[in-house]
Amino acid sequence: RQGRPSSGSSVSAVTLYLVRHGKAGTRDNSDPLDTQRHLDRKGLRQAVWMADQLGGRPIGALWSSPLPRCLETVEPIAARLGLDVEPTEALTEGTDLEITWRVVEQALLRGTDTVLCSHGDLIPALIHRAECRGMTVEGPAGFVKGSIWILTVDGDRTSGGTYVAPPATSELPDS
């Protein structure tokens, strides 16, 4: 299967926005509170940039890892769209890919364009899986903090993926 499970009915195209959280300082795996890192100044500016990119799109749901850096990344998008952010444990870093993939499938079954905010271990794995299932990547690819992957899912097939890198720090809007 490619994309969503077959339900036997015709489904219109859905767009998934895979968002990698904005910059949140420096990782310190020796610190047990490292999971509680918040966005730094650059990350806050990246979050505003993402809201500028996605705030006018017909997005119906925002799902995020419950870690502060992810929630803070999508809060400006949620404010622009008038949506609540739904914290989803399956989007937390270190989660087994099969569990995270089921969340992607759940988002597709909703039939609405959805933002999924996650981490640097899961987003590349999700993109790789979509590519193995036939997705064509249009243009350059990457996974930097504060970036967006736009996936077009048509019926049961992820037909295309486009990577949108955040601009240079000097070009980011003020938070």
Q: What is the pLDDT of residue 9?
A: 44
Q: What is the pLDDT of residue 27?
A: 79
User: Three-class SS of residue 132?
Assistant: helix
Query: How far apart (Å, rounded) are the C-alpha atoms in residues 154 and 82?
Result: 26
* Segment 20-49, tens digit of pLDDT: 999 998 877 766 677 889 999 999 999 999
Query: Is the pLDDT at 137 greater than 50, yes or no?
Result: yes
Asked whether 74 and 64 are in contact (CB, 8 A), the reply is yes
Helix intervals (H) in the chain: 41-54, 68-81, 97-110, 122-132
Asked whether 3 and 133 are in contact (CB, 8 A), the reply is yes
Query: How far apart (Å, rounded) are the C-alpha atoms in residues 27 and 148?
Result: 21
* Segment 66-80, tens digit of pLDDT: 999 999 999 999 999
In the block, tokens 């270190």 appear at 94
Q: What is the pLDDT of residue 151?
A: 96
Query: How far apart (Å, rounded) are the C-alpha atoms in residues 125 and 11?
Result: 25
**Helix or strand (DSSP H, E) at 152:** strand 148-154
